[in-house]
Structure 1
Amino acid sequence: MRSFRLRIALLSAALAGSAIAGFSLIAWRLIYAAEVNRLDAKLENLVRRSARPRPPNAWPQFADSLPRELETNSETAIALLVVDENNQILYQSNSLDLQPFLPAPPAFLPRRSFDRAALPEGYRAALPEGYRPPPDLNPQITTIATSSGSWRVSATRFPQTRVAIAVSLSVIDQDMAAIRNIFLIAIPGTLLLVVVGAWIVSGSALRPIRRLTTEIQQVTAIGLDQQVSIESTDIEFVELIQVFNQMLKRLERSFKQASRFSGDAAHELKTPLAILQGELEQALQQAEPGSALQQNLSNLLDEVRRLSGIVRKLLLLSLADAGQMNLYKVEIDLSGMLAVTIEDIELIAPDLRVETDIAAGLKVWGDRDLIAQILQNLIVNAVKYNLPNGWIKLQAERQSETVKMTIANASAEVLAIDRARIFDRFYRGDPARTRKVEGVGLGLSLAREIARAHQGNLTLDDTSAGETAFTLTLPIAHNIAQNKDF
């Protein structure tokens, strides 16, 4: 099963991670380009400044100022090459070979022409005759790769010299490495915050669903009249709650109709069946002993008694469904009742081996007749579905505030589909396995309803093949007496 809340958190993290990763990549590239452009501007400015006439012994001083101008503490990260018009090296501060990047030396650098008449009168008077503007100095900037790393080189030519200044890109790489480390720390932290935030937000958004689930879990067969309130509920969930409330109303109406029908039918059948049973008993007494008529009347009387038992069970089930099962509670010696039950097993099924482990002094508080009905149904079920020359095991003990009783018997394998529906009314499992077994499938359902009416339960245990076991739990006597009215 998948968690919707977890999927929301992971999806939010994926979307946020993609956005942050994309933003970080773009930001990193823009920062790198900005750093390179800033370095290019500094290199161009330094190259232009090198155009000032200097004696040969002044170039070392110019080279010493480059680390400060380029904002680096490493002199080895900067290279300066100055060549005169005769291609003689005037100064070289680094072993890096920059000559291939110097512009070719021209015979001369032509000065630019301009329209003197276009100048204002004051400018024309200030310029000497024959004045020509100096040539354009357009430094060429390129990136080179060497064994020591990448360098950014700016070179240009002047009338008397050619100059090349190079700076290692490791200066920028160090700054970018620091930014990268910041991103590597900030991105996972941000994603963690996004996941936590999405988890909290999704939990808050799903709170109405959890409240609706809690209220649905509280709905029982006798509580179908409950309605989930739509006050203080987000508008997105109002329609869902309204549909659920309408479904509860339909279920309540259908359940009441079915329960009323079974209760009314059982109640109406009680009197005719009682009259019919009385008439048959009287006719049976008057019939000639051993005659065919007496045999027929005896068979009819058995069927009427069977119908009376079914009607009585249906009436009890309808009362349980309506929460109106009346219990006449007294203290019951369950150990003694089980001893009598064992004697009954030995009488009705002498071929079965009976094993018991019953603790002494087990007492429960409940309706004696109904508890006896549970035991009878379980014993009859264990006998009916037993194997030839099989066995029955009966164990009973006290556990904390309850009495636990287990009845196991040898049996054919109970299929998974039968285990899921074994407590359903009128369900008798595989017809091939039960066609020779009498009954209508109400005994186990009625036994469980009686147990629940006593605040206990009846369950089918998980057992190995060739065995079936039911466990009955009932609260002990003093626990019921202290908490219930009787």
Structure 2
Amino acid sequence: MKQSSSSGLPNRKMITGIYIFVLVYTIVQLLWWGVLLHQQSKQIAKNEQIALTHKIQELTHPAEFMQEMQRLHKEQQMRTFKYIGEGVIFLVLILAGAAIVYRAVWKQMKLGQQQQNFMMAVTHELKSPIAVAKLNLETLRRHKLDEEKQRKLLDATIRETNRLDQLCNNILLASQFEHRKYQPFLEHLDFSRLLRDATEELQCRTVSHNIEADIMPGVELQGDKFMITLMLNNLVENAVKYAPKGSTIRVKLFRSGETLKLAVSDEGEGIAPEERGKIFLKFYRIGNENTRKSKGSGLGLYLTRKIVEQHGGTIAVKDNSPKGTCFEITWNDYSVQSV
């Protein structure tokens, strides 16, 4: 796996080198074309002056000779202006086209690298829960275990199948968002209750971290129940990946002035400021795929941002105090029940 990933770097350098060589060669040829035209223009002017000197006997007045010389000089200036102007235009077009092509090629190469990372991550994400579930089921089939051990193995198997289910949902939804085929099923939701239920379910599925919920009661929203649940799952599971085991993940729904905010915070290492604008991009993951220890496909935060935008909100990344990361979602259009 390391060889296939590292081989992309020399290919990228080789393609960039070839591209620069072709661009430099084209510009040098353009400049050489300008030099040849300049020499040709000088030769034409010289030949015209020689021809004029041969005709000097036909010119009856010196003023006519001077007029002819001025005409030849203007023609030479026009030729010089013409090929310099054409050369500058060609040079601008070449540089502009080269910049557009380079940007497009670079984006394609970057997307290819991200897709390669995605395939590596998804392969790992698929194999791990399948292997765990298979091992647990084979253990249950081959050994007579007491009821408590059977329950633990079944619970672990269910957690792994839930991981598989969410990964499949993320991949399908990413494809639908990409082609704008997903239409949300909007309904009137008890947002507070939905978040409490989803948080409790997440805590049952998560044994490595403590999930605390501070949910303001009585909040209602128009939204897609499945998508909002997926949004919260992605944010919490992202915190589980990067926060130390045994630490606390906090889910808080609160009002701030005229806005409603949902914050999911962890106690991890945090996200560098230069990475915060990239983490919501499709397939993007911080670090190198060969050395990264955290699980994931690079789709969770991408889908989260899409879901938030689809529900009329905005999402931002902030520092958590004293350490960690806080994902904060803000809505302006909401209602609160009288409780």
Using structure 1 for the length normalisation, give the TM-score. Answer: 0.35
TM-score (normalizing by structure 2): 0.48
Identify the structure with bigger relative contact order (alpha carbons < 8 Å, sequence gap 6+). 2
Higher helix residue share: 2
